[in-house]
Amino acid sequence: MKKILTILGAISFSTVGASNIIACNSIHENEIKSLQNRLST
């Protein structure tokens, strides 16, 4: 029983980590795009 809970915890932790990475990447891309727009104008 404890093993199952540990596995579930690891899965939920990794999905949260992955979604955080994706969110950070999209925010970063938006910042780069806005900087490029400022430089090009």
- How far is the C-alpha of 4 from the C-alpha of 2, rounded, in Å? 5
- pLDDT the model gives residue 33: 93
- pLDDT the model gives residue 17: 87
Tokens representing 1 are 């029983």
For the whole model, what pTM was predicted? 0.51
- How far is the C-alpha of 23 from the C-alpha of 5, rounded, in Å? 27
Radius of gyration of the chain (CA): 18
Q: pLDDT by residue (tens digit) across 1-41?
A: 799 989 888 988 888 888 988 888 998 999 999 999 998 87
Cβ contacts of 38 within 8 Å, gap of 6 or more: none
- How far is the C-alpha of 2 from the C-alpha of 7, rounded, in Å? 9
- pLDDT the model gives residue 31: 92
